[in-house]
Amino acid sequence: MPNANQRVGEHVLQERIASGAFGEVWKANHHVWHDQLVAVKIPTDPNYVRDLQREGTAIHGLQHTNIVRAMGFDPYAETPYLVMEYVPGTSLRPLIVNKKLTPTDAIAVMKQVLAGLSYAHKNNVVHRDIKPENILVHERAFKDGFNTEGVVKVTDFGLGKSTAMRAESIALSQSSSGDHAREIAGTLEYMAPEQRQGAAVDGRADLFACGVVLYEMLTGEKPAGTDVPSDLNRQSPKHLDEVFRRSYARLDKRFASAEEMIQALTSAPPIPGGMKPKAGVPPLPTGRVVAPPPMTGKRTTCPQCRGAVDANDQFCMHCGVQMVENVRRCPQCGAYPDPTDHHCIFCGQTLTMEAGIR
């Protein structure tokens, strides 16, 4: 087990800043340049040296302001280690637990997470374990704001580029017991369905997890049933409900990329009542359904905000306006199935084209 004042490579351990079943992370300084602070990850079980190797390989060369960068790596040393950028501050988890984030803060945090993931995905790295504990918030965010560039960083790529068998073994841990199994099982709440099943995954699996994290930042809770963020937090803008739905969805309904999800987060919410609408956008009378323009393929345009939407969407993902005359809902759980769905993706209820219209 690592100890304070122990030398690991070129660095001397100062204090433990995180620990788990896989290993520990220590704050450390260079043995000569004492003002150079780093974070050193050390596996505390020989079985997890391979995870350290995987993480070091995955993040090698990833140079992005929203990704914790690697600074040193030796999985073959007497004490295997990975040296990383030190981020003074906290993980996202305490901010969620203590409800320290406004919806505006949540959007700013998620946009930076997605920016880092977008870069990783373009470099063929899928994180596979996005959760609040693996999102670090620099202390500058509390002084300069969460919109400040580089104050949010993604860390812990220990499952990066992992194989399908690895994902399957994690899914099977649900039947295990002990602290280690519980820690892994906790991550299952952020796993996309295809990842739980042990199938090959791409960057969209990370976007599913981002949807769960966004929901937590807005509500303080994990998704359950058919509730959307605004059901639990009236301060949450309606357009974020659709962002959540599009990320927390089956693979073919999910955002295609991190950039697409960033764009959805950036879209302005509907104009509050009593304010003048933007030029060229007609006001929406109370209770009136705006008929969408003719469909020209898989994408169309919202008649209220002019945002690009899927041709089958019942509501605009940007401004929330109802796009169809009759909204189709699952009669069992109240979810909003796609017009072409034969079964509800949330509860499995068999649907007909006529059933469930409300």
Catalytic residues: 129
C-alpha torsion 106→231→248→352, nearest 10: -160
Phi/psi class of residue 329: alpha, beta or left (left: φ > 0; alpha: ψ in -120 to 50)?
A: beta
Those residues whose C-beta lies under 8 Å from the C-beta of residue 177, and which sit 6 or more positions away, are: none
C-alpha torsion 162→165→169→171, nearest 10: 90
* Integer angstrom CA distances of residue 295 from 13, 91, 263, 291, 312: 62, 44, 22, 11, 9
Question: Hunting for tokens 């070091």 — which residue is that?
Answer: 56
* Residue of 225, 244, 242 lying closest to 310 (CA atoms): 242
Nearest-angstrom CA–CA distance, 346 and 358: 18
Question: Strand runs (DSSP E) across 98-232, as ranges?
Answer: 135-138, 152-154
Question: Strand runs (DSSP E) across the chain, as ranges?
Answer: 7-8, 11-19, 23-30, 37-43, 70-74, 81-85, 89-91, 135-138, 152-154, 299-301, 308-310
Q: Are 159 and 129 in contact (CB under 8 A)?
A: yes
Amino acid at 115: A
Query: Reduced to 3 states, what is the DSSP secondary structure of residue 43?
Result: strand
Nearest-angstrom CA–CA distance, 67 and 80: 22
Assigned token pair, 38: 């780093």
Amino acid at 81: Y
Nearest-angstrom CA–CA distance, 152 and 261: 17
On the CB side of 80, how many CA atoms lie within 13 Å of its CA?
18
